[in-house]
Structure 1
Amino acid sequence: MTAAVGQHWLIELSQADPARLASPAQIEHALRAAAEAAGAHVVHAHFHHFGPNQGVTGMLLLRESHISIHSWPELAYAAVDLFMCGHAAPDRALAVLQAQLQAAAFQVRQLQRGPQAVEP
């Protein structure tokens, strides 16, 4: 059997700081800090703000794959997609995201990605 090529985490952050969730600069800072903590390397970044007091959608392309986010400040909630290959450590990224966005709660669904996940 072939080993997994990466870990894909779907993260629900809740009871987070609405001001941080509405700030493209703070969202970008949080994702970059998470990537660094995980040992990942940023290749490109793109963020879009939907307007004052509204959410942000953004993505960091990583050598090790990607981190993406979509935030809803009005719900104190953010959905994060964290896919890391190689030696990157998604658990370290999650701890940083939770702290940076001041999320009081989170839920994670973990998937092992790779050909072993595909049935013939």
Structure 2
Amino acid sequence: MKDYLGVHILLELNGCPTERLRLPADSERILLEAAAAMGAQVVESRFHAFSPHGVSGVVVIAESHLTVHTWPEHGYAAVDVFSCGQLDLEAGLTVLKDGYGATETEQRQFHRGRLHKSPESK
């Protein structure tokens, strides 16, 4: 039995082609494909383009969320994946890395919502 509520992955994507980081529709497509690959249930998505460049967006899933913030001028995307469900996170991470065309990736994983045993369960 796990002793936490969810898994939070911080994904650093560097060396991404600029054209994949500029348009909200591209980021939305990539995150929705990642959610589908994970087996997540999408609730809604919302993406915004900044001026002069960059995109921020969120895909809310029944199991939690996927978010992205892009910096086309640096070829960089910061992606967060948070899940409190039984999802295939590795499949989704592969879609994200490939979708953004990252040449260099780094990820950190955290367990969120540490569960404490109740006094009755001792």
Taking the TM superposition and a 5 Å limit, the aligned residue runs for 1:28-107 are 28-51=28-51, 54-107=53-106
Q: Which 4+ stretches in 1 moved above 4 angstroms?
A: none
CA distance in 1, matches of 2:10, 2:31: 14
Q: How many residues align?
A: 116
Offset at 1:92? Answer: 1.3
Aligned equivalents of 2:103, 2:115: Cα separation in 1: 35
What is the TM-score of this pair, normalised by structure 2?
0.89
- What's the TM-score, normalizing by structure 1? 0.90
Q: Percent identity?
A: 42
TM-superposed deviation, 1:6:
1.3
Work out whether residues 16 and 100 of structure 2, in 8 Å CA contact, stay in contact via their aligned partners in 1.
Answer: yes
Gaps of 5+ in 1: none
The offset of 1:113, in angstroms, is 1.4
CA RMSD, Structure 1 to Structure 2 (Å): 1.6
Task: Please identify the structure whose Cα radius of gyration is greater.
Answer: 2
